[in-house]
């Protein structure tokens, strides 16, 4: 347990955790579509769900492009999700540090699963919130491109 506390106290450990987290996020973003395509090739039901999701995404882009109120609502949704994401990330780090501190002062006998499990659950929720934000952000960008193209054609 002392070795774990020493590792967590090391700045090198924290830097490596951040780097690994960023790499996993980037790799996951690239692999998501490939995994969906592979799974949809295996299952016709997944193929139908993927088709419906793409159609819904296109409709979302069209709604955003046609309404300034919808674009404002999307911006607020993105901002809200980013604030929630930052809160969850902060809570996961603080929960982990609290667990390490509690283990260090002898509240727990031996390593506690809660020290590692609770932050992992919070980070999982953080990732899901980030994926929701990414979808809305991409739709908003596409809607802005459509509006720019329409304004160029009208002039």
Q: What is the pLDDT of residues 40-57, one digit of tens each?
A: 677 777 778 778 888 998
Q: Beta-carbon neighbour count of residue 140 at 10 Å? A: 20
| Residues 110-132: tens digit of each pLDDT | 555 566 666 777 777 777 767 66
Residues 6+ apart with CB under 8 A from 63: 70
Q: At what angle do helices 68-104 and 2-9 cross, to 10 degrees?
A: 140
What is the rounded CA–CA span in Å between residue 120 and residue 125? 9
Residue ranges of the domains in the chain?
2-154
pLDDT value, residue 58: 92
pLDDT value, residue 121: 74
Residues 6+ apart with CB under 8 A from 125: 88
Q: In which band, very low, low, confident or very high, does the pLDDT at 1 lie, cut at 50, 70 and 90?
A: low
Cβ-contact 110, 1 below 8 angstroms: yes
């Amino acid at each position: 347990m002392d070795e774990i506390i020493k590792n967590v106290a090391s700045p090198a450990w924290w830097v490596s955790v951040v780097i690994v987290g960023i790499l996993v996020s980037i790799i996951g973003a690239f692999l998501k579509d490939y995994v969906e395509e592979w799974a949809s090739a295996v299952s016709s039901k997944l193929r139908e769900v993927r088709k419906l999701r793409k159609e819904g995404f296109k409709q979302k882009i069209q709604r955003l492009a046609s309404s300034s109120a919808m674009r404002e609502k999307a911006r607020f949704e993105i901002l809200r999700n980013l604030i929630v994401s930052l809160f969850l990330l902060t809570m996961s780090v603080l929960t982990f540090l609290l667990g390490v501190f509690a283990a260090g002062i002898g509240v727990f006998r031996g390593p506690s699963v809660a020290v590692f499990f609770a932050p992992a659950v919070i980070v999982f929720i953080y990732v899901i919130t980030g994926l929701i934000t990414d979808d809305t952000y991409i739709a908003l960008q596409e809607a802005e491109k459509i509006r720019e193209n329409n304004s160029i054609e009208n002039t």
